[in-house]
Structure 1
């Protein structure tokens, strides 16, 4: 009797995977690998062909460059594998690869395990299994940042995939959790260049070099041509500088700034900076595109380059020659006439628009050694020590003919108009563009004739162009507009003054925007005659009222009340947004608005926002009560004062805050150059 046996059936993928898992559990890893490999090869996605792994993909490189791991798995294939085979949606194929990768892990063959994990991503980029396995292997290889990026990529893909296993998604979150706190912090240098520049622009320049020590990557990126703008504004600190930069360090910084070197150099304290002649020459000669230069008091009398027309873009220069108080400004043993950089400024004359000089050279008082700057727009000149000489201000109109803004002082208390007669023929051409005039002096110095001559010079300056080009006037003078005989000095309602020198033009001030006269008292009658046109046309938005000083025979409050009454002509002007009230003294224990008229006067201005209020004629508590009365009836935004301090100031600030007003101890900041509206 004969018998027959049917052919043996091929085991299914499920059977092969189950068999491999049993071998894995008893640590028969070689047999397990055979079963998992057979299961992979039996998948129908191969269509009877031998399916190899694509070698085009480089997940680690893409992750390091901030690219998409999913897109790398999904689309990047230039070899024949991608053309021959499609993605595989058979979960058992991915499962067999996952188990084979786990077996290689057990055999400590991590490179082969990594290849299988990447193969899972290639076959099924939307399954969480490949991300879980590749992330785990990366952690075993101590590549934690890559592991974090792999887990994160898997979370992003599977969070949007409605068909993904919530269990596997939670496993991705759990695997990423110990890494997330450290690696989720974004390296700012991997952001777009514009954002990197914005972030680092908030750092002081002195804080940039320490950033180079964060890593080699940071040093390479921050010193690359892509970020050369970071090194172009070399603004060094003053007293807070802990360590002065060496010559070789400055040289490196200038090289990082690219072609043209620094655009802005600010050294407020050359002594702290240890500014030597060698450093100065390096900074200037390596910065052919320099636009802005500020150097503080120089104790060694440094010399500027004098024979080079290199700086064709230099627009702003501010220099201080008063480093050694025991010597005249710009003193140096190397040059007999001093170290003032006359040639340096003349060589930059075509581009220079803004000049600040602290320490007026003696030669300027003799109208000598003044640079010729035909395009200069703003000039700020001052001394650190009070000079008794009278400065011939009008001679500067020859050397700076297009000046728009002029700030004189402090410590230049005396100006000279004695030579005005010689200027009458060309008076119509003197400073036709002057828009801002500031004169600041802390004390009156010299004989009466010299003081009066100085005030007369101010009068002449305000008369230029009939005063109609002037937009901003600020006179900080501890004096009155009228002398003890009642004769007007600077501002007058009459063309004729008591002086032998009469200005050729009567000012009208049609375009005046602000009048600052802190300390300089002007009568209401003169103010009305001189400035009413600017107020009527709505151009005058800011002005100061300085009250006269009472004599011993005056009843307390009478003079201030009468003075304020004289300003009724400006009461309620809608154009007024800022007011200053100085040196007033109203009645003690006021019973009504007649005793204290200031609050109602200020309340009459519908658009008043800023008030500067100071008076040395009050005790702090009484002054605070005046300000509190003002707060109750006005709609101010900001108040400046220094007449109260300590506990009284704290209490007054709380009252101001309850009214929605910011109370600031100090004076309103003065911006220079003054912004000019069209």
Structure 2
């Protein structure tokens, strides 16, 4: 045993001498001579593996580093390689690589460095040298991964190795320069969760990031659901990809395995420049949601594929600017009548197509599953046409729970009697009241639904509404399109104790008793969250000069939104007690977070006090700039001062016909 050790020491002694002489020549810049001595030092190692050292492992080892599998790769190479951790051998190989660095033979350096890692997997010098070579080749990310995996391998056997701190320092230095592709590295489920936050336009742009992204996004079964919801917004006058739009649509549909579920097109005329609407529907038979808009004006839908069915469609929305022909609309409705739950048509066809008996469009199937309906007939100033009657729609869809109606004729009595499940209704300023006579077949009494959750309507005057009388005295009022104007007589207002949202937009205010009857039940029950009465009955609440105390019942801890209007018109803003009265009003609602003051002449100082009291959003339409207040509110209280009405109220629906809304003091032509 001692003889073998003495023999190995005797063999390595010349190697130590050659290593020392080579380092001296290296310091003198004689790299060729130094390289020969370093090779001689490696040949003198007792492992006798220099001639058998493999220099063709760079691809395998670098691939293992890139995939975070360096340990597995080195384990697989154990049977094919001979390992050695002798310091003479390791130092000589390290010096030889440094020599080749000085003469810029980086490819040879890379082969030797990967061979050094395979020769001594637990030696920090191997990873320090390979890391330097990778950094010289501008492979910062690969170097970072190599340092990280090298530290793990060295720590397993030598947790206190003196070179470990240096290895960690190098890793931390290269970390800011490193980058890696999370789409390729992360689990596919996490990648899906990330891409679900992107809109469809950004998702399409991701296809051009790299070949790897394109392959994963288009071929992964886990990500196919991302392509089943497609939204196109083509609002520019000239879109650069119009001619390729339909071909791109077909490709995206193919990525979803022809299982498109939701299609939304904003800018239908641009989208259909290279195809017909029938072509779109032919490859979208499994749609559940179809939404169409044309922001630049009226676009007529005039074609459908023959014998087509949309048996899974639950939501059909023909928004602003999309005006279908009556026959096209009929076929579209009848293609999805079994499944349709939400229907929005903001530009109904011409009145000439209305059936004179039902006063609605003929040929529609009965929509038993329909729960949400939004209907509007386009107004024409130059030629005011008659408008359809809602009676036919009420008979076709008896289970409606939410309704949005504008510029249609309606019968309040029939509306309440035939839609018993109605919980949410909006009636616009242009709906017209239909005369009710005792000879009509729809004269069944219908009580007002006290389970109503949301009530929104617009009009001129609060006269003759919420009224009943026995025997009934019936009149027709062409100017006040009130929801509950059925009879004229003794006023009986409904007790809406479960109301959550209430907006009544008037030209003339409610009186104090009417205001109390409508608002108080929701206040006292604690269900009312949003209150928008325009204008407020300020003289009933405050008096002519703030000499009246606010009603004791006008308070709530559940109210989060309130409109405060009508003070300027009543000449109350100029009084000294105005600010104190409004702050008292605000104190009645401790959880109020949003208010709308329209064009009221409130000072910035008063609005600042509102914000200090907890209000996070103030909507206004004042002509004066409030830039200073906006900056102060954002920086100190993270609050907003917005120069437009709140978008959540139904009057601000983006698909509504464009006009100046007197109640909101805002033109909805500025909507998207």
Q: With the length of structure 2 as denominator, give the TM-score of the two structures.
A: 0.74
**In 2: Cα distance, 1:588 partner to 1:235 partner:** 47
| Equivalent position to 1:437, from 406, 425, 440 | 425
1:137–1:14 Cα change, 3 Å: farther
Shift of 1:345: 2.5
Q: Which runs of 5+ in 2 are unaligned?
A: 1-5, 437-441, 476-485, 653-672
Query: Are 1:570 and 2:570 counterparts?
Result: no
Query: Are 1:286 and 2:286 counterparts?
Result: no
Q: Is the 8 A contact 2:451 2:498 kept in 1?
A: yes
Query: Are 1:480 and 2:461 counterparts?
Result: yes
Q: Is the 8 A contact 1:496 1:502 kept in 2?
A: no
**In 2: Cα distance, 1:63 partner to 1:530 partner:** 72
Q: Which residue of 1 aligns with 2:620?
A: 641
Q: Which residue of 1 aligns with 2:369?
A: 375
Measured on the aligned residues, the alpha-carbon RMSD in Å equals: 4.6
Q: For residue 213 of structure 1, give the secondary structure of its aligned residue in structure 2.
A: coil
Q: Is the 8 A contact 2:246 2:274 kept in 1?
A: no
1:283–1:586 Cα change, 3 Å: same
**In 1: Cα distance, 2:7 partner to 2:126 partner:** 34
Instruction: Report matched runs for 1:326-475 at 5 Å.
Output: 329-331=323-325, 338-361=326-349, 362=351, 363-364=353-354, 366-369=359-362, 370-386=364-380, 388-409=385-406, 412=407, 414-417=408-411, 430-441=418-429, 453=435, 466-475=448-457
My pick for the range that moved more, 565-574 or 652-661, is 652-661
**In 2: Cα distance, 1:183 partner to 1:659 partner:** 39
1:510–1:15 Cα change, 3 Å: same
**In 2: Cα distance, 1:136 partner to 1:288 partner:** 58
Shift of 1:632: 8.7
Q: Is the 8 A contact 1:377 1:405 kept in 2?
A: yes
Q: Is the 8 A contact 2:144 2:171 kept in 1?
A: no
My pick for the range that moved more, 189-198 or 149-158, is 149-158
Q: Which residue of 2 aligns with 1:604?
A: 588
Instruction: Report matched runs for 1:571-586 at 5 Å.
Output: 571-584=554-567, 585-586=570-571
Shift of 1:475: 0.7
| Equivalent position to 2:527, from 539, 543, 548 | 539
| Equivalent position to 2:179, from 184, 204, 207 | 184
Q: Which residue of 1 aligns with 2:512?
A: 524
1:166–1:185 Cα change, 3 Å: same
1:138–1:559 Cα change, 3 Å: closer
Query: Are 1:59 and 2:35 counterparts?
Result: no
| Equivalent position to 2:640, from 662, 666, 672 | 662
**In 1: Cα distance, 2:536 partner to 2:555 partner:** 23
Q: How many residues align?
A: 600
**In 2: Cα distance, 1:596 partner to 1:492 partner:** 37
Question: CA offsets per residue over residues 584-618 of structure 1, 9 Å max, x none?
Answer: 3243642446x984443343333333322235xx6
**In 1: Cα distance, 2:495 partner to 2:281 partner:** 45
**In 2: Cα distance, 1:660 partner to 1:181 partner:** 33
Q: Is the 8 A contact 2:496 2:522 kept in 1?
A: yes
| Equivalent position to 2:90, from 90, 94, 99 | 94
Q: For residue 543 of structure 2, give the secondary structure of its aligned residue in structure 1.
A: helix
Q: Which residue of 2 aligns with 1:130?
A: 126
Q: Which runs of 5+ in 1 are unaligned?
A: 1-6, 324-328, 332-337, 445-449, 455-459, 483-487, 551-556
Q: Which residue of 2 aligns with 1:272?
A: 270
1:141–1:515 Cα change, 3 Å: closer
Instruction: Report matched runs for 1:618-629 at 5 Å.
Output: 620=601, 623-624=602-603, 627-628=606-607
Q: For residue 11 of structure 1, give the secondary structure of its aligned residue in structure 2.
A: helix
**In 2: Cα distance, 1:221 partner to 1:633 partner:** 50
Q: Which residue of 2 aligns with 1:650?
A: 627
Q: With the length of structure 1 as denominator, give the TM-score of the two structures.
A: 0.74
Q: For residue 212 of structure 2, give the secondary structure of its aligned residue in structure 1.
A: helix
| Equivalent position to 2:292, from 292, 295, 305 | 295
Q: Which residue of 1 aligns with 2:114?
A: 118
Q: For residue 13 of structure 1, give the secondary structure of its aligned residue in structure 2.
A: helix
Q: For residue 220 of structure 1, give the secondary structure of its aligned residue in structure 2.
A: helix
Q: For residue 514 of structure 2, give the secondary structure of its aligned residue in structure 1.
A: helix
1:493–1:509 Cα change, 3 Å: farther
Q: Is the 8 A contact 2:541 2:551 kept in 1?
A: no
